[in-house]
């Protein structure tokens, strides 16, 4: 059996919700994603993204929150320039004095260097800002006067994408020292270019589920840390379903080898 599913909510194109009355008589079934397609149109940052910095003025600790804008893919060669403009545009003078002056640059390995005229603390940041600044695998807060971010920035989403399912086997991942569980149904193994179509035709792995679970399916596109991505085009998948109890032993063994 083949099901052709698509997302239809412009506010949540990265999620496919499917309600079915398929009757498989309480059997055990196997399913896999046979294909996935969409357009590589993601928001790397949105107005909900932020960076919280602490510093001092006249020996008084102050907290600054920098807000980002809706932006698709950034470019590595202009990232430091765009961040400098963002910082300069949002730092408001206090008592005729800027609370802090930042200069951002890139080193030869494409890691960001955040230099300032005084010590500062990166207290917190939203998930996408951590990706953008190369802070995704470190523990906040960080204190410095000249901070080299530990990892290379992700200037666009789509480097590694997964499709997670509310059904399927469970994968465990550690994010921010918290152990969370997600079920991975498909990995997008494509070289993605912003604005271009994504056409994944390589079938995913087979998974065994109860046929009762077919009545309510939900798939969600996520990044490499299993956080949902903001997609601006419909997502299409082809779902293949096979009944195990309708196969002979040899056919079941052949399928098991593909899992």
Q: 128 and 194 share a domain?
A: no
pLDDT mean across residues, the chain: 85
Does the pLDDT of residue 207 top 90, yes or no? no
113 and 237 both lie in a single domain? no
Query: Contact, 120 vs 143, CB < 8 A?
Result: yes
Q: Kindly provide the residue ranges of all beta strands, DSSP E only, lying in 21-141, ordered along the sequence.
A: 28-39, 50-57, 60-67, 102-106, 112-125
pLDDT tens per residue across span 84-130: 999 888 877 766 677 788 999 999 999 999 999 999 999 999 999 99
Domain boundary among 104, 125, 148: 148
Question: 103 and 22 in one domain?
Answer: no
* Structure confidence by residue, pLDDT tens digits, 45-72: 999 999 999 998 888 888 999 999 999 9
- Indicate if 246 and 217 belong to the same structural domain: yes
DSSP class of residue 109? T
On whether both 37 and 54 belong to a single domain, the answer is no
Q: Give the residue numbers spanning the domain of 8.
A: 2-42+157-257
Residue 257 has pLDDT above 90, yes or no: no
Q: What is the pTM of this model?
A: 0.84
Same domain, 179 and 229: yes
CB 149 within 8 A of CB 133: yes
Of 117, 148, 179, which residue sits at a domain end?
A: 148
Q: Do 164 and 191 have their domain in common?
A: yes
* Closest to 33 measured CA to CA, from 162, 224, 210: 162
Number of structural domains the chain divides into = 2
Within this chain, do residues 140 and 212 fall inside the same structural domain, yes or no? no
Tell me how far the alpha carbon of residue 166 is from its chain's centroid.
Answer: 17
Question: Is the same domain home to 218 and 243?
Answer: yes
The CA angle 119-61-65, to the nearest 5 degrees, is 80
Q: Name beta bridge partners: 16.
A: 219
Q: How many residues does the chain have?
A: 259
Q: Decide which of 148, 170, 196 is a domain's last residue.
A: 148
């Amino acid at each position: 059996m083949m099901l052709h599913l698509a997302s239809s909510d412009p506010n949540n194109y990265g999620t496919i919700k499917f309600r079915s009355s398929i009757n498989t008589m309480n059997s055990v079934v196997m399913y896999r994603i046979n294909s996935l397609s969409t357009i590589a149109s993601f928001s790397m940052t949105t107005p909900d993204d932020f960076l919280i910095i602490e510093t001092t003025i006249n020996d008084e600790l102050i907290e600054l929150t920098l807000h980002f804008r809706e932006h698709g893919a950034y470019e590595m060669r202009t990232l430091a320039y765009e961040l400098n403009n963002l910082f300069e545009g949002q730092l408001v003078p206090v008592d005729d004095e800027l609370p802090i002056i930042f200069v951002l640059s890139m080193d030869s390995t494409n890691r960001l260097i955040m230099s300032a005229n005084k010590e500062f603390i990166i207290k917190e940041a939203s998930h996408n800002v951590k990706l953008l600044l190369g802070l995704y695998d470190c523990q906040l807060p960080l204190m410095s006067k000249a901070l080299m971010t530990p990892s290379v920035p992700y200037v666009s989403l789509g480097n590694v994408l997964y499709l997670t399912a509310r059904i399927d086997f469970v994968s465990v991942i550690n994010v921010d020292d918290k152990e969370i569980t997600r079920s991975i149904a498909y990995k997008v193994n494509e070289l993605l270019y912003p604005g271009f179509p994504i056409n994944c035709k390589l079938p995913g792995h087979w998974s065994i589920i109860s046929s009762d679970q077919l009545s309510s399916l939900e798939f969600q596109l996520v990044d490499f840390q299993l956080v949902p991505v903001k997609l601006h085009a419909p997502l299409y998948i082809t779902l293949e379903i096979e009944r195990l109890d309708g196969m002979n032993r040899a056919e079941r063994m052949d399928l098991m080898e593909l899992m």
